[in-house]
Structure 1
Amino acid sequence: MADIKIGNEVIDDIRLLIFDKDGTLMELHYYWTQMVGLRAALICENLKLDKDHAEKIAYVMGADMKSGRLRPEGPVGLKKREVVLQAAVDYLNNAGYDDVYDLCFNVFQQVDDISSRELKRFVKPIEGAAELLRNAARFGCKTAIATIDRRERARLAMKCLGFADIIDLVVGADDVSRPKPDPEQIHFLLNAFSIDRSHAVMVGDATTDVQMGVNAGLKASIGVLTGLATKEQLKGITPYVVEDVSKIEILNTSEG
């Protein structure tokens, strides 16, 4: 058991820390702009479309390739894979290209395969993530990931970042039937660890992450400003908002 310190506030008696992945433990914009850019480029290569179309397809999927950042409204980084894929399909349909769902589906799979083989070129950790996870483990606090990504891809990312040995459990979008902010992922984790919600904290960069923790009735939900949500948006849901995970401190307790 550990206490969590946020500025001058202490959240006591915590047995489980639940983290979002993208934008919380690893760089959101770096990862997803590369993934979406490659998806758009391969779709256009297959259809013999130019770079202008590739940038527009990436944009509707949620990535502004000119700025190298994600759009705050998503869908990528916020919504399930199927929603992002459908955004590309809809763009192509509107551009006069029919029957492209299978093409887009196969391209998404192709990019998954490429990124799995060359994952180090796609992922970067958020400052302070490794130290926070290791301190939690050292002080007997369980750690878990709740992500909109697929479980196996999330595991691969954690392994690549060197976090695999300090993350106790990963739950992905493919493990549940309802997306964030529905608390299904959190209920899954609480049941898996047999830990009461009063001893768990959610940490995430998106409003859906923080709202999920609130909806689950956790001891606290902490927002970090390394993703898409603004401080004002997060403050509207939780009093606990910090610049990044390096500002979250784990305090040991004598109760273990």
Structure 2
Amino acid sequence: MVHLEINENIIDNIELVIFDKDGTLVDLYNYWANMINFRVESAQKKLGFNESNKIDIMYAMGVDVENGRLRSEGPVGLKKREIVMQAMVDSLAEIGFSDTYDPCFQIFKEVDEQSINHLDDIVKPVDGMHRLIDSLYENDCKIAIATTDKTARADLAADFLGISDRVNMVVGEDMVANCKPHPDMANLILKELSVDKEKSIMVGDAITDVEMGLNAGLKASIGVCSGLTSESKLREKTKYVIKDISMIKVMS
């Protein structure tokens, strides 16, 4: 059990911290910009559309290449994999490529496999991530990851980052009926780890992360400004808002 200091506020008696992955533990833009680029580039090679079309398709999937950011409305980084893939299918249809659901499904699968060889380029930890995870672990606080990514890919990222032995549970969108902001992920983690919701908190960069914690009745939801959402938007949902997870202080 630990006490956490957030901007001089103390959240006491915490036994479990649930983290979002992308934008919270891992650099958001670097991860998803690379993954979406790999996917659209693969489609470009198979179908033969031009570079302008490629940028437009990436934008529809949630990556604003021209401004070097992710779109705050997603879908990538916020919504389920199927929704991101459908955005690709719909964008291809707009430029004359019909019936591409099955090819896109195969592209997503192939890129998942190929990206294993590019983890050095894709997975970059947020500043202070290892220090915080180590501190929680050393003070016997349970750690979980709840992500809109596939569970297998989140496991892969945790392993690459060297935190797998410290994380008690990883839940991806494929393990629950309803993704964030529904409480399903948090509820599953609470049940499997046998921790009371009043002794648990959620940490994430998206409004949906904060809302999941609220909807699950956790003791607190902490918003971090290292991903998709501005400080002002996060403060509309929670009083606990910080620049990034390096600002979370662990006290035993």
Q: TM-score, normalised by structure 2?
A: 0.98
Partner letter of residue 88 of structure 2?
A
Q: How does 1:126-165 map to 2 (within 5 A)?
A: 126-165=126-165
For 2:118 and 2:94, the matched residues in 1 are separated by 33
- State the 1:179 CA deviation: 1.0
- 1:225 maps to which residue? 225
Distance 2:190 2:66 in 1: 41
Alpha-carbon contact 1:201-1:221 (below 8 Å) kept:
yes
2:39 and 2:56 mapped to 1: Cα distance? 12
Does residue 1:174 correspond to 2:174, yes or no?
yes
- Deviation, structure 1 residue 60: 0.4
The Cα offsets for residues 55-74 of structure 1, whole Å up to 9 and x where unpaired, read as 11111000012232111111
1:44-83 alignment, distance < 5 Å: 44-83=44-83
**Partner residue, 1:19:** 19
One-letter identity of the residue aligned with 2:246: S
Give the match for residue 93 of structure 1: 93
Deviation at 1:46, TM superposition (A): 0.6
Most deviating of 208-217 and 117-126? 117-126
CA distance in 1, matches of 2:126, 2:171: 20
Look up the SS of the partner of 1:93 in the other structure. helix
2:246 aligned residue: 246
Which residue type is aligned with residue 95 of structure 1?
I
Q: What corresponds to 1:119 in structure 2? A: 119
2 CA distance for matches of 1:94 and 1:55?
Answer: 14
Q: Which residue of 1 aligns with 2:236?
A: 236
CA distance in 2, matches of 1:129, 1:96: 44
Contact 1:151–1:175 (CA under 8 A) maintained in structure 2 = yes
1:116 and 1:173 map into 2 onto residues whose CA distance is 20
Within 1, Cα distance between the matches of 2:51 and 2:10? 51
CA distance in 1 between counterparts of 2:65 and 2:205 reads: 21
Cα offset, 1:118, TM superposition = 2.4
- Provide, for residues 160-206 of structure 1, a one-character-per-residue CA deviation record: whole Å limited to 9, x for no partner: 11111111110111110101000010000111111110000000000
Aligned counterparts of 2:112 and 2:69: Cα–Cα separation in 1: 20
1:30–1:68 CA contact under 8 A, matched in 2: no
CA root-mean-square deviation: 0.8
- Give 3-state SS (helix, strand or coil) of 2:13's partner: strand
SS at match of 1:118: helix
Aligned to 1:32: 32
Q: Hey, what's the Cα distance between the residues in 2 that align with 1:218 and 1:88?
A: 35
Separation in 1, partners of 2:95, 2:115: 28
The 5-angstrom pairing of residues 95-110 of structure 1 reads 95-110=95-110
The answer to whether the 8 A contact 1:137-1:143 is kept is yes
- Tell me how many residue pairs correspond in the alignment: 252
The gaps in structure 1 that reach 5 residues or longer are none
- 2: distance between equivalents of 1:68 and 1:164? 30
Higher deviation after alignment, 181-190 or 61-70: 61-70
- Identity over the aligned pairs, expressed in percent? 46
| Deviation at residue 114 of structure 1 after TM alignment | 1.1
Matched letter for residue 22 of structure 2: D
Which 4+ runs in 1 deviate beyond 3 A?
A: none
Separation in 1, partners of 2:192, 2:89 = 37
Provide Cα deviations, 1:135-181, integer angstroms capped at 9, x if missing partner.
00111100000001111100100111111111111011111010100
Give the distance between the partners of 1:37 and 1:234, measured in 2 at CA: 28
Query: Gapped runs of 5+ residues in structure 2?
Result: none
TM-score (structure 1 length as normaliser): 0.97
What amino acid is the match of 2:167? I
Contact 1:125 1:161 in 2 (8 A): yes
